[in-house]
Structure 1
Amino acid sequence: MNEAWTWRPLRELTIRGATWNPRADPRPSIRYIDVSAVSRDELRIVSEATYSAGNAPSRARKIVESGDTIFATVRPTLRRIAQIPESLDGEIVSTAFCVLRPDRHAIDADFLYFATQLESVMEGIAAMESGASYPAVRDVDVLDQVVPLPPLPEQREIAAALNTIRTASLHQAQCEANATALKRAAMRELFTHGLRGEAQKETEIGPVPASWELSTLGTLCESTDSVNLRSEADRVIKYVDVSSISRDYLCIETTPRFILKEAPGRARKRILTEDVIFATVRPTLLRVAVVPDELDNQICSTAFCVLRRDSKISVHNFIYYVVQRDQFVQQLAEIETGASYPAVTDRMVKEQVVPVPSLEEQREIIAILDAIDRKIDLHRRKRAVLDDLFKTLLHKLMTGEIRVGDSASSSLVQLI
């Protein structure tokens, strides 16, 4: 670390904030930030609640100012950290936050926000956690953490570089959200009106184009099979459990390997390339994915309904999209059983009525939805690259390993 830098505890770099007393400060209403209002992915405030002073939560006590950093002290390793924007200047946050108000003579507000994200800070706070079922730390535990402190001009340069990457990442996140919203709207339009501009007919699942058929999902599928434990017992398999599916991305993310005879008891259903697997436990959470080539002839949990298309009736990915429709999920919500562990059976899934256009129109619809999914994936991958770049620069700039303006940092920033 540069000789001009020091390490200082946060308590020496911050100013104590004020608390709100509803009796002494009877505001007509407050805008309140709870821990749940902070996005763990974006590290910013994404929601707020308005209360009359008399109905405010008992935790609504800490007054914040623009530029403050708030750090959640309940389950702190979840990294619910945010900076207060100008729009929330003077508003109220939960006592479950440690409010870090920068002493602007010592530390830049943005630099402080980024410093709290350092691994060394997170590790120090994690070491102070207490409470097995409700882990938490005290404000003093946060304030005791030490951070690197370069001179103010260099702090501002570092913060500006990190903000450049963060802004680009947030832009990609917004583009992804916009594309996801477009997909939902497109699915509603395509499966209700089709692509031919034809008249609609009313059906038990709502309006659909007049030329479309209605069919049970199972009619679109071929039969599937399970593993043979006698002949395949010693086979090494890749196993897809319900937890393997990303609800955000609707794809298979993790596949642990097992010798089949030692695999979990639910590891019984054979899956092939292009199969669609639909989780039957808590079906409204929509854990669905297409089996990729690398998982051909592998094994999934019995908690999935395996949907293998009949190529004479449905095209590639048609089933994948038709089960993502809000209407389909709602149909399952109305018949799921079990209050604490809601589920449906394979039979119940396959008995659901779905709209079926001609093969040609299926292909056209799927081409549109596949294009939107590719756009979503593009923004997702761009954001992942930016997030990795941010983590690298956060560590290297904050520790002085590289400096703003160095060839190394310039090369990294130019990747944006």
Structure 2
Amino acid sequence: MRDVSRSWASRPLGEVIAITKGRKPPRLVADSSRNAMPYATTSLFRSGTATQFVPSEDLPSCVVTPIGCPVLIWDGSNAGEVFVGKDAVLASTMALIKPDESVVDPGFCYLFLKTAFDELNGGTTGSTIPHVSKLTLTALQMPALPLDEQRLISGLLFKMEEAIAIQVTFATTAQELKRAAMRELFTRGLRGEAQKDTEIGLVPESWELASIGSHHSVVSGGTPSRGNPAYWTGGAIPWVKTTEVDYCVINETGEHITPLGLESSAAKMLPKGTLLMAMYGQGVTRGKVAILGIEAACNQACAAITPKDDTVLPRYLYHFLTSRYDKIRSLAHGGQQQNLNLEIVRDLSVAHPQTADEQHEIATILDALDRKIALHRQKRAVLEELFQSLLHKLMTGAIRVADLDLSALPPASATA
């Protein structure tokens, strides 16, 4: 990103900015009463929500960030990451980057620093805790553009960032709507009937309760030896890892095995439509489900669930198990690493309508919400790719902002 167009003049960033490290305030309080100011940590910038505040009487000894000025993570593994400043007290692990606004637009400075993350993060100093190198930072070559062009660039790219944030909000709202819909559908159904109390809570009175093993076969997969290239090299059989089991239809996999690898391990071919559940994972992986959109094998950390009869529709079961994620995770056991196992999965209770029609209706409603979530995630991904492309091309002079027509983008503010 440092390859600025030769047609543009540049200048060292250090010539046009002042750097002020944050300082730890004398006190932090949990509420914003008495005109206390938010304490600006990375958590505040990422979430937008303040959890700590600095009393007004302590402000003279602190560094207060002006709205819109770039703020840089100075210490730690994310050193070099930049945020748009808020009206807040700056944490000691961060630094205020104050540009000379007679020659540099603060928004343009922020966006320029976004392009410099790899250079700043890769050039940190300090043996225990990495720090941004002041020498590296001040030596960065910033395009010396007229202020009006800087403002055009920052205005355009802030619109892009706001459009991305809108898609994040839409996807989050759709996810919350799906969670609410699952709670309603799996406790009340679609027919407005009376409820009964069961071992998994309230369900419609006519519904049945049965273990997964009553109507499904549950097996695990296997991993061919990594030490034998004949099991992997040139393989064409899709092989699923638990990290790929993430509330989705799996149509491709990151790794493939050979027929010999399949025959020489516990891995087995699973038909399209098989439901997979991740049995291992201390983070968020354990308990997640996915559906195979292709024939594939899986590793031993996945439970492969296939129907033995037509009692429970696969898509219905997928959504029901999704709704039970937290409960399923809590059933794991073991020593240092708690996991599920095939016996636990087989014993999981499933409440379901007796008719395939009602199961299909419930699955159809939740499928529609999944499509909505996926659409907003896809839009976000496209916008993020476009943002990165525009950021690079505008900062290097490959294109000029006056040549672009993005009038369909919503208005945005650098301080949003």
Question: Which structure is higher in RCO with an 8 Å CA cutoff and minimum separation 6?
Answer: 2
Could you tell which deviates more after superposition, 205-214 or 64-73? Answer: 64-73
Partner of 2:67: 66
Mapping for residues 139-178 of structure 1, pairs under 5 Å: 139-178=134-173
**CA contact 2:220–2:303 (8 Å) conserved in 1:** no
- Tell whether 2:118 aligns with 1:107: no
- 1:252-310, CA deviations, whole angstroms, 9 ceiling, x for partnerless residues? 774212336569x98724322111111111376443211112xx1x2211101111134
Partner of 1:324: 322
Partner of 2:124: 129
TM-fit CA distance, 1:384: 1.3
Alignment CA distance shift 1:169-1:211 (3 Å) = same
**CA contact 2:22–2:94 (8 Å) conserved in 1:** no
Alignment-mate amino acid for residue 50 of structure 2: E
Partner of 1:46: 48
Alignment CA distance shift 1:67-1:276 (3 Å) = same
TM-fit CA distance, 1:11: 2.5
Cα distance in 2 between the residues matched to 1:186 and 1:395: 42
TM-fit CA distance, 1:152: 0.4
Could you tell which deviates more after superposition, 349-358 or 370-379? Answer: 349-358
**CA contact 2:72–2:94 (8 Å) conserved in 1:** yes
Cα distance in 2 between the residues matched to 1:246 and 1:53: 44
Partner of 2:279: 280
Mapping for residues 83-232 of structure 1, pairs under 5 Å: 83-85=84-86, 89=87, 91-118=88-115, 121-130=116-125, 135-222=130-217, 224=219
Could you tell which deviates more after superposition, 169-178 or 76-85? Answer: 76-85
Cα distance in 1 between the residues matched to 2:101 and 2:261: 60
TM-fit CA distance, 1:206: 0.7
**CA contact 2:220–2:304 (8 Å) conserved in 1:** no
Partner of 2:13: 10
**CA contact 1:336–1:343 (8 Å) conserved in 2:** yes
TM-fit CA distance, 1:333: 3.8
Cα distance in 1 between the residues matched to 2:223 and 2:110: 56
SS of 2:190's equivalent in the other structure is coil
Alignment-mate amino acid for residue 331 of structure 2: I
- 1:156-195, CA deviations, whole angstroms, 9 ceiling, x for partnerless residues? 0111111222221111111111101101110111001110
Alignment-mate amino acid for residue 257 of structure 1: H
**CA contact 2:79–2:124 (8 Å) conserved in 1:** no
Cα distance in 2 between the residues matched to 1:313 and 1:344: 25
Cα distance in 2 between the residues matched to 1:386 and 1:14: 30
Partner of 2:402: 405
**CA contact 1:15–1:100 (8 Å) conserved in 2:** yes
Alignment-mate amino acid for residue 308 of structure 1: T
Could you tell which deviates more after superposition, 16-25 or 279-288? Answer: 16-25
Alignment CA distance shift 1:33-1:194 (3 Å) = same
Alignment CA distance shift 1:250-1:76 (3 Å) = farther
TM-fit CA distance, 1:10: 2.8
**CA contact 2:23–2:91 (8 Å) conserved in 1:** no
Cα distance in 1 between the residues matched to 2:335 and 2:127: 27
**CA contact 1:61–1:95 (8 Å) conserved in 2:** no
Mapping for residues 287-302 of structure 1, pairs under 5 Å: 287-293=288-294, 296=295, 298-302=296-300
Cα distance in 1 between the residues matched to 2:143 and 2:156: 17
**CA contact 2:245–2:277 (8 Å) conserved in 1:** no
For structure 2, the 5+ residue unaligned runs are 225-229, 411-416
Partner of 2:381: 384
- 1:100-128, CA deviations, whole angstroms, 9 ceiling, x for partnerless residues? 1222112111111111111xx22321331
Partner of 2:344: 348
Alignment CA distance shift 1:252-1:51 (3 Å) = farther
Cα distance in 2 between the residues matched to 1:158 and 1:287: 42
Could you tell which deviates more after superposition, 397-406 or 179-188? Answer: 397-406
TM-fit CA distance, 1:20: 4.9
For structure 1, the 5+ residue unaligned runs are 40-44
Cα distance in 1 between the residues matched to 2:136 and 2:274: 51
Find the partner of 2:393 among 396, 400, 413: 396
Alignment CA distance shift 1:313-1:34 (3 Å) = same
Alignment CA distance shift 1:252-1:137 (3 Å) = farther
TM-fit CA distance, 1:68: 1.8
Cα distance in 2 between the residues matched to 1:278 and 1:160: 45
Alignment CA distance shift 1:224-1:19 (3 Å) = closer
TM-fit CA distance, 1:208: 0.5
Cα distance in 2 between the residues matched to 1:299 and 1:252: 12
Alignment-mate amino acid for residue 41 of structure 2: D
**CA contact 2:288–2:322 (8 Å) conserved in 1:** no
Cα distance in 2 between the residues matched to 1:368 and 1:323: 16
C-alpha RMSD over aligned residues: 3.6
SS of 1:202's equivalent in the other structure is strand
TM-fit CA distance, 1:66: 0.6
Alignment-mate amino acid for residue 168 of structure 1: A
Partner of 2:227: none
SS of 1:116's equivalent in the other structure is helix
Alignment-mate amino acid for residue 152 of structure 1: L
Cα distance in 1 between the residues matched to 2:256 and 2:216: 28
Find the partner of 1:308 among 306, 309, 313: 306
TM-score, normalised to structure 2's length? 0.81
**CA contact 1:165–1:413 (8 Å) conserved in 2:** no
